[in-house]
Structure 1
């Protein structure tokens, strides 16, 4: 885990390394399928559940890894270090992608 600027959240957020992200990604996939066995294992209601309830295991695992609670499950999925580029030499924010040539924060070329 590493604190980095998130362009979507507009603030510093805990970003996941590949090992941490793989744990979250697997849980996210399991939540998508939401099998009866998975719901029982994680204490989720067997009746129809809301989308937020469906992804509680993802949010809890992210909190366990980062210490930050209440982050939306979709936001968690883009908090992955490898999605971002190197830090801008001028403003220090990460480039939006590993292939970016221009900093979206300050407009400086790489």
Structure 2
């Protein structure tokens, strides 16, 4: 496993993997991104040189995310279980969220 030293290095890695990198501060985009192509390596470098502490978001161009929230009395995991359609949610790349929820990543079908 490679450990990167800067957020720019992570952003470059995501871009090389085909993701549309989006620099954010406090969950708000730093740049205009609607209807824009993916950032180039040079653009990523320039942005993180100006904003070295910018966080990284990725645009859901080729994938979508199922966001399962868990706040106080609302438990998305319980709702998902009660939905009773596990066949809709195949094993996939998943990350934990700050409040104990999860985000499940799926590729969009072609066409």
Task: Indicate the TM-score class for this superposition, using the shorter chain for normalisation.
Answer: under 0.3
Which is richer in strand?
2
Normalised by the length of structure 1, the TM-score is: 0.25
Which is richer in helix?
1
